[in-house]
Amino acid sequence: MPNEAVQTNCPCGNEVDEEALLCRLDEILEEYQHKDGGLIPALQIAQGLFGYLPEHVLRRIAKGMDKPYSEVAGVVGFYSFFSTQPRGDNVIRVCLGTACYVRGGKQVLDSIKKELAIDVGETTENKVFSLEIARCFGACGLAPAIMINDDVHQRVKPARIKQILAPYQKPELEVA
């Protein structure tokens, strides 16, 4: 995919071509390849650069860290904060830990799935939302809870999902 424009997670919103991202990744791999525990920070930085961890990036990381691809892919598969699929601008995490589940977390999840017409692990067609499950946010006394990006919403009711999601929607472009 050389010279293909790729949107980065940079707050400036500038587009960077694939070659530039791969060059930066190589610099990161050089820095972390001999550090104990360097794989996870390298993966985190790579995900920040690319927005997710596509297979060709995982293969490059495996080669650069001198690790088998299966080990790198295994780490990515184990930790829920890594994604091999592009994520939406807003990541919704629904807590299904014991307190949240007992207090209606599953119903909240079902309401979000219905509202966005996506399932867990999917991203809306317009790339605004991705949906994930989490186990605990530490807000058990105010369950059920969801997180949208870094915002925790507590005592969430399924009927309020549309209202909760509204501020995160992209404003529609007006046609002149």
The 10s digit of each residue's pLDDT in 3-25 is 333 444 444 445 668 899 999 99
Task: Let me know whether 55 and 96 are in one domain.
Answer: no
Let me know if residue 38 belongs to a domain. yes
The reply to whether 85 falls in a domain is no
Q: Give yes or no: residues 134 and 164 share one domain.
A: yes
**pLDDT of 80 above 90:** no
For residue 124, the model assigns a pLDDT of: 95
Concatenate the DSSP letters of all residues of 100-166 into one string: HHHTTHHHHHHHHHHHHT--TT-B-TTSSEEEEEES--S-GGG-S-EEETTEEE-S--GGGHHHHHG
Whether 106 maps to a domain, the answer reads yes
Q: What is the pLDDT of residue 174?
A: 47
- pLDDT the model gives residue 10: 45
- The better pLDDT of the pair 81, 154 is held by 154
Residue 130 and residue 162 in one domain: yes
Q: Tell whether the model's pLDDT for residue 95 goes beyond 60.
A: yes
108 pLDDT band, cuts 50/70/90, is very high
Same domain flag for 67 and 95: no
Asked whether residue 176 is assigned to any structural domain, the reply reads: no
Residue pLDDT, tens place only, 28-62:
999 999 999 999 999 999 998 998 999 999 999 99
Same domain membership, residue 111 and residue 57: no
Instruction: Say yes or no: 71 and 96 in one domain.
Output: no
* 36 plus 97 within the same structural domain: no
Identify whether the C-beta of residue 39 lies closer than 8 Å to the C-beta of residue 67: yes
Task: Encode pLDDT of 112-170 as tens digits.
Answer: 999 999 999 899 999 999 999 998 888 899 999 999 999 999 999 999 999 999 999 97
pLDDT at 14: 52
Q: How many domains does the chain have?
A: 2
Residue 160 lies in a domain: yes
Are 57 and 99 in the same domain?
no
Domain that holds residue 55: 5-78
Answer yes or no: do 100 and 140 share one domain.
Answer: yes
Query: Last residue of a domain, which of 78, 104, 129?
Result: 78
- Would the pLDDT of 92 be above 80? yes
pTM of the shown model: 0.68
Within this chain, do residues 13 and 45 fall inside the same structural domain, yes or no? Answer: yes
Is it the case that residue 175 has pLDDT exceeding 70?
no
> Cα–Cα distance between 172 and 53 in angstroms, integer?
29
